[in-house]
């Protein structure tokens, strides 16, 4: 039974990711009774750190989902080790609603506290990136679980792209320690940039190999 279809693993992972991305919005709280003369607009606007954290994490999870599928488009078979490493990816993703709420709460707190939130928030991304790398390396090493028809070049491109993920999050973390809100906005743009199958990571070799 092992080593067959990846479809179930993907469906299960899709379920977890879909739930995590939907639970994010539960963090937005309806403002309670407003004092006379205070506009509901202001009460809603005051929650902007939560909105910013929400949109950032939403985009991040969306990109992770895209990457998860890109990865499994090359993987042909599954085994227990891959299921467990994939579990590490999912564990990271299920924690994101918590870390997002933490950011919403502590984004504007004094330096010592908001930096803790920044480290935890980016730390969970790094945790997830590590398991993405482990899962991919395990599956792709010596083509262990890959589709025999897998595009060699795309496989190498993915390996290189994932390798850049971990240091990338460290840089975001460093920016977050200096200017947390800015780092979130940057994260959105970087994430969208990474969503596109990255020519940069395929490198010069591509040209040669795809030539006639």
Ramachandran class of 197: left when φ > 0, alpha when ψ lies in -120 to 50, beta otherwise: beta
The stretch among 57-65, 138-146, 167-175, 181-189 that binds a copy of itself (CB under 8 A) is 57-65
Q: Is 182 in the site for a copy of itself (CB under 8 A)?
A: no
- Stated as kind and residue range, the H or E segment containing 8 is helix 7-23
Please say whether the dihedral angle defined by the alpha carbons of residues 65, 66, 70 and 76, taken in this order, is positive or negative: positive
- Rounded distance, CA 129 to CA 91, Å? 12
Between residues 33 and 167, which has the closer beta carbon with respect to a copy of itself? 33
Contact 71, 85 (CB under 8 A): no
Query: Nearest approach, Cβ of 9 to a copy of itself (angstroms)?
Result: 9
Nearest to 27 by CA among 94, 93, 98: 98
For residues 113-132, which are near a copy of itself according to CB under 8 A?
A: 113, 116-117, 120
Q: Is 10 in the site for a copy of itself (CB under 8 A)?
A: yes
Q: Is 106 in the site for a copy of itself (CB under 8 A)?
A: yes
Q: Would you call 16 exposed, middle or buried from its count of C-beta atoms within 10 A (0-12, 13-18, 19+)?
A: middle
Selected binder of a copy of itself within 48, 82, 89, 97 (CB under 8 A): 97
Q: Is 23 in the site for a copy of itself (CB under 8 A)?
A: yes
Instruction: Give the binding site for a copy of itself (CB under 8 A).
Output: 1-2, 4, 8, 10-12, 14-26, 28, 30, 34, 39-41, 44, 55, 58-59, 62, 65-66, 69-70, 73-74, 80, 83-84, 87, 90-91, 94-95, 97-98, 101-102, 105-106, 112-113, 116-117, 120, 154, 192, 195-197
């Amino acid at each position: 039974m092992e080593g067959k279809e990846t479809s179930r693993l993907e469906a299960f992972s899709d379920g977890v990711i879909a739930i995590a991305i939907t639970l994010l919005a539960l963090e937005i709280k309806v403002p309670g009774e407003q004092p006379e003369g205070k506009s509901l607009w202001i009460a809603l606007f005051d929650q902007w750190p939560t909105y910013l954290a929400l949109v950032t994490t939403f985009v991040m999870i969306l990109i992770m989902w895209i990457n998860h599928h890109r990865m499994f488009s090359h993987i042909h078979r599954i085994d227990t080790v891959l299921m467990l490493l994939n579990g590490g990816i999912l564990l990271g993703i299920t924690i994101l609603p918590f870390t997002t709420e933490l950011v919403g709460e502590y984004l504007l707190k004094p330096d010592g506290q908001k930096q803790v939130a920044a480290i935890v928030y980016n730390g969970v991304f790094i945790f997830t990136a590590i398991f993405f790398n482990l899962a991919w390396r395990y599956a792709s090493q010596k083509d262990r679980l890959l589709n025999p028809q897998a595009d060699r070049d795309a496989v190498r491109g993915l390996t290189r792209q994932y390798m850049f993920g971990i240091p990338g999050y460290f840089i975001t973390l460093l920016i977050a320690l200096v200017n947390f809100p800015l780092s979130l906005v940057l994260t959105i743009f970087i994430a969208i940039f990474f969503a596109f199958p990255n020519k940069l990571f395929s490198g010069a070799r591509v040209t040669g190999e795809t030539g006639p």
